[in-house]
Structure 1
Amino acid sequence: MQRTGIPDAYAAGLVNQIREEVLAGDVPVTGARLAAAVHASGRLLGSGGGLRAVDRVQADLQGLGPLQALLRIPGLTDILVNGPHEVWVDTGAGLARTDVSFPAEADLQALAVRLIAAGGRRLDDSCPCADVQLRGYRVHAVLPPVSTGSTLLSIRVRAADSFSLEELQAARMMDAQCADTLRFIVASKLNFLISGATGTGKTTLLSSLLSLCNPDERLVLIEDAAELVPQHPHVIGLQARHTNIERAGSVDLADLLRQAMRMRPDRLVVGECRGAEVRELLAAMNTGHDGAGGTIHASAASTVPARLAALGALAGLNARALALQAAGALDAVIHLERDAGGRRVAEIAVLDSPVDGELVTCTALDCRAQSSSPGPGWDLLQARLALRQSR
């Protein structure tokens, strides 16, 4: 990977000088002010060097510091910093190491502390792990000695726009039959979960599916960290809030789901089911809120029932109660996988509860081969689609 444009050592000295001047004042940090400070310094950097110095100072004070230039990489989803001289990026095709580095461990830790503070939380010896949502980023940081080596910084870059289903199909995330089936699922207002491991594209696909919703529907999105960006004219977003420095003031996903029920939603969407909020989501689906959806971490569609049972236990539901709730609430599971070829829809399954009351999944469409093929659950999926369309 090519080295990003960072000012030379001569300009770097100016960076430190201007940083101290700006931090000592009480005026807002703006591009115009930084440019004026560069000009007033009297250093002959040339027009190109001056612009690079302004960019560098702005990145150090308001952006991602030495990592700022990485944001220009097309398709960037994650920046992972394992130490001052070990920076990795992910663009959807796997992790790649960059040659970006920090001058020292202290500079990396200072960036981590500043980013966490910008999100209203603290990162120090008393609170060595923290995560915040900033505009366009989700930042997680860990300080030594909890981190056994250096300061760890993980930055998830929020997509500016969602991809259409046609674009995902062109990127070979699915074939035509799979895409058509997903359209029918959304149009028929089946309740669904998108499952998969970390980095398989669950949020990307969910945004695309929500963009297919009827424009006169009201979508209420409930997320731990706002990442969904559906192209839809009527979207309401609710984001969880963590405890403040005094360990108070938290608002979790279960709280937000209860609030969302009073906001006249046509579709309720939980960005990621990972706790006791699964009880409220299943209850909403069972009380007439059709077309609801969300994502869930699972290694396969067949493990989603076990994952739901574990989450239900956190909410005080036993396995049988969870199975009864989920069987009546959830219609389909869309499972994603990631391999050397990229992210793809692996299968579309239906959730069912046989006579013994155990929740199971049954493959309706196997999408792993070059062309999708119906599975044993295909007829059940078609029956559910027909039932909803007849209402």
Structure 2
Amino acid sequence: MTTVGPEFLDAVRARVGGGTVESVAAAVEAAAREAGAVLGSTALGSLTRTVRDELFGAGRLQAFLDDPEVTDVLVNGPRDVWVERAGRLALTGVDLGGADDVRSLAVRLAAAGGQRLDDASPAVDARLPDGTRLHAVLPPVADAGALISLRAVRSRAFTLDQLVASGTLTPGLVPVLRALVATRANLLVSGATGSGKTTLLAALLSLVPHDERIVVVEEAGELSPRHPHVVRLLARHANVDGAGRVDLADLVRHALRMRPDRIVLGECRGAEVREVLAALNTGHDGGCATVHANAAADVPARLEALASLAGMSRDSVAAQASSAFDAVLHLRRTAADRGRRYLAEVGVVRRDAAGALEVACAVRCDPSGASEPGPAWSALAARLGLAAIGPAR
């Protein structure tokens, strides 16, 4: 048997119990025998993987999600499937059938994430059981047919030395980053989508002493630091009946009651920034969060926009954020090579002469690996006890 048709899938589905590897393999073997096919161990294993991907995974897209080099899988049409590897998009030769097949795949994946996707609810943002982030849109919102975006979650945590080897970090910044963690500085990691915020944050959390408890709050389970005491709280979308929602703001409040040594918010994207600022202003040092921003200097405006969703004034944000965060670590992707991510700036969070929130540059780096101190370097160095060494030039 070289193809898996809907009748064969239905036959397997009727036999599958708990959906384990063993139950799927047994169901595939029984269905094949009933169909008059005799399979060897190799053919049975291959067919079982195909069926399992079709029933519980992403079908023909699952192979890409299983590839550790792939970060995103984008479906624009049945024969218009793209993947991103090492920061570069490439068109694949995958054929998903017809428009109805793409729609069915989108609906099935949404259901696997506990979400509803149909004409009454034509867009969905969900987390699949394996942690993969799903976004799908149906017509008429998607003009040419169903669109599927899948972002794979990779659990590997890099060391700072590995990030130096890959060009993400300038060697002179390693002592600065180590000191930020050791002195329990509150950090905000900023950058555009795919700039490496989660990768850098996981590496930093891996430096936290092992006798400390880290409580991570996320929408999707992306942060996996090399640390023995990490507990994770994941946001929950409302179910198909519109009930059961638990948002990030709720989880930050729960995290405060869990005896955290460090509280980490995977991404500030809404009103939960109010709870984060409150938590970091009540003695919870060493906390971290990420935020989308185009530049370190844009972080204050971004925080103000998010905090406004929680009813906070600009003055209140400036007072809270300047006290809550010690430093901003801003990452960029080079224009010449979209696969190159690097830490471009370390900034100090403070208020300017007029009382407005600002991020003053302490260290600026370029893609070549060179770095130079900025006007706020002396203040950061004094905070970290690094006045004698300074960043590498």
Fold similarity call, TM over 0.5: yes
Letter in 2 for 1:158: V
Shift of 1:28: 3.7
What are the within-5 Å matches in structure 2 for residues 229-248 of structure 1? 229-248=224-243
In structure 2, the partner of 1:297 is 292
Output one character per residue of 1:264-321: Cα deviation in whole Å (capped at 9) or x when no partner: 1100100000111111111111111111001000000000000011111111111111
Output one character per residue of 1:164-207: Cα deviation in whole Å (capped at 9) or x when no partner: 22211111111211222111111111011110011111111111
Paired with 1:156 and 1:64, the residues of 2 have a C-alpha distance of 12
What are the within-5 Å matches in structure 2 for residues 1-391 of structure 1? 11-12=2-3, 14-25=4-15, 27-29=17-19, 30-43=24-37, 48-134=42-128, 135-339=130-334, 340=337, 342-368=340-366, 369-386=368-385
Shift of 1:25: 4.1
Output one character per residue of 1:248-270: Cα deviation in whole Å (capped at 9) or x when no partner: 22111111111111111100100
Letter in 2 for 1:358: A
In the alignment, is the contact (CA less than 8 A) between 2:364 and 2:371 conserved in 1?
Answer: yes
In the alignment, is the contact (CA less than 8 A) between 1:143 and 1:152 conserved in 2?
Answer: yes
Output one character per residue of 1:223-242: Cα deviation in whole Å (capped at 9) or x when no partner: 12221111111111111111
Paired with 2:18 and 2:245, the residues of 1 have a C-alpha distance of 30
In structure 1, the partner of 2:389 is none
In the alignment, is the contact (CA less than 8 A) between 2:68 and 2:154 conserved in 1?
Answer: no
Letter in 1 for 2:221: A
Shift of 1:334: 0.4
Q: Secondary structure at the match of 1:232?
A: coil
CA 1:344–1:25 in structure 2 vs 1: closer, same or farther (change >3 Å)?
Answer: same
In the alignment, is the contact (CA less than 8 A) between 2:155 and 2:223 conserved in 1?
Answer: no
Q: Secondary structure at the match of 2:385?
A: helix
Larger deviation: 157-166 or 233-242? 157-166
Shift of 1:72: 4.3
In the alignment, is the contact (CA less than 8 A) between 2:332 and 2:343 conserved in 1?
Answer: yes
Paired with 1:202 and 1:330, the residues of 2 have a C-alpha distance of 16
In the alignment, is the contact (CA less than 8 A) between 2:295 and 2:330 conserved in 1?
Answer: yes
In the alignment, is the contact (CA less than 8 A) between 2:167 and 2:369 conserved in 1?
Answer: no
Paired with 1:34 and 1:11, the residues of 2 have a C-alpha distance of 13
Larger deviation: 36-45 or 361-370? 36-45
Gaps of 5+ in 2: 387-393
Aligned length: 377
Output one character per residue of 1:344-376: Cα deviation in whole Å (capped at 9) or x when no partner: 111111111023111111111111142222111
Shift of 1:22: 2.0
- TM-score, with structure 1 as normaliser: 0.92
Gaps of 5+ in 1: 1-9
CA 1:51–1:15 in structure 2 vs 1: closer, same or farther (change >3 Å)?
Answer: farther
CA 1:264–1:71 in structure 2 vs 1: closer, same or farther (change >3 Å)?
Answer: same
Q: Secondary structure at the match of 2:54?
A: helix
In the alignment, is the contact (CA less than 8 A) between 1:196 and 1:298 conserved in 2?
Answer: yes
Letter in 2 for 1:248: A
Letter in 2 for 1:11: T
Q: Secondary structure at the match of 2:60?
A: helix
Paired with 2:66 and 2:235, the residues of 1 have a C-alpha distance of 29
Shift of 1:54: 2.3
Letter in 1 for 2:374: G
Larger deviation: 193-202 or 241-250? 241-250
Paired with 1:258 and 1:50, the residues of 2 have a C-alpha distance of 49
Q: Secondary structure at the match of 2:116?
A: coil
Paired with 1:274 and 1:349, the residues of 2 have a C-alpha distance of 20
Paired with 1:39 and 1:187, the residues of 2 have a C-alpha distance of 62
Letter in 2 for 1:301: A
Paired with 1:72 and 1:281, the residues of 2 have a C-alpha distance of 34
Output one character per residue of 1:41-95: Cα deviation in whole Å (capped at 9) or x when no partner: 3336666544432222111111110112223434211111111111111123221
Letter in 1 for 2:360: C
In structure 2, the partner of 1:7 is none
Paired with 2:176 and 2:295, the residues of 1 have a C-alpha distance of 19
Q: Secondary structure at the match of 2:263?
A: strand
